[in-house]
Amino acid sequence: MNRPHQNKKATQTFSVEINGTKCSAETGETVFNVAKRNGIDIPVLCHDDRLAPAGACRVCLVEVEGQRRLQPGCAWVVTPDMQVTTESDRIEKHRTVLYNLYMADHELDAAGLPVETENNNQLRELCKTVKPMKLAPVNAPRDARPADNNPYIEFKPDLCILCARCTRYCDEVEGVNAITLANRGAETTIATAGQRSLIDTSCELCGGCIDTCPTGALVEKKSPQNLVQLDVATTRTTCNFCGVGCQMDLHTHNDRLVKITSPEPGQTLNDGNLCVKGRFAFDFVHHEDRITEPLIRGADGQLHPASWDEAIAVAAKGLLKVKEKHGSDSLGFISSSRCTGEENYLMQKVSRAAFGTNNIHQCAAT
Binding site for ligand SF4 (CB under 6 A): 153, 160-166, 169-170, 174, 176, 178-179, 190, 198, 203-209, 212-213, 215, 217-218
Q: Is the dihedral of CA 165, 168, 170, 174 positive or negative?
A: negative
Residue of the chain from 40, 60, 275, 360 that contacts ligand FES (CB under 6 A)? 60
Residue 350 DSSP symbol: I
170 membership: H or E segment, kind and range: helix 165-172
Question: Which of ligand FES, ligand SF4, none sits in contact with 55, Cβ below 5 to 8 A by type?
Answer: ligand FES
Question: Which of ligand SF4, ligand FES, none sits in contact with 166, Cβ below 5 to 8 A by type?
Answer: ligand SF4
Question: Which of ligand FES, ligand SF4, none sits in contact with 205, Cβ below 5 to 8 A by type?
Answer: ligand SF4
Q: Which is nearer to ligand FES, 4 or 278 (CB)?
A: 4
> Are 198 and 174 a contacting pair, CB within 8 Å?
no
Question: How many residues does this entry show for the chain?
Answer: 366
Residue 340 DSSP symbol: -
How far, in Å, CA of 198 to CA of 154, rounded?
10
Told to check if 161 binds ligand FES by CB under 6 A, we report: no
**Which of the ranges 40-48, 109-117, 191-199, 335-343 carries the binding residues for ligand FES, by CB under 6 A?**
40-48
Amino acid code (one letter) for 98? L
Told to check if 36 binds ligand FES by CB under 6 A, we report: no
Told to check if 57 binds ligand FES by CB under 6 A, we report: yes
Question: Which of ligand FES, ligand SF4, none sits in contact with 23, Cβ below 5 to 8 A by type?
Answer: none
Q: Widest CA span of the chain, in angstroms?
A: 88
SS3 141: coil
How far, in Å, CA of 19 to CA of 16, rounded?
10
Told to check if 70 binds ligand FES by CB under 6 A, we report: no
71 DSSP β-pair partners: 62
Q: Which residues bind ligand FES (CB under 6 A)?
A: 44-47, 55-60, 72, 74
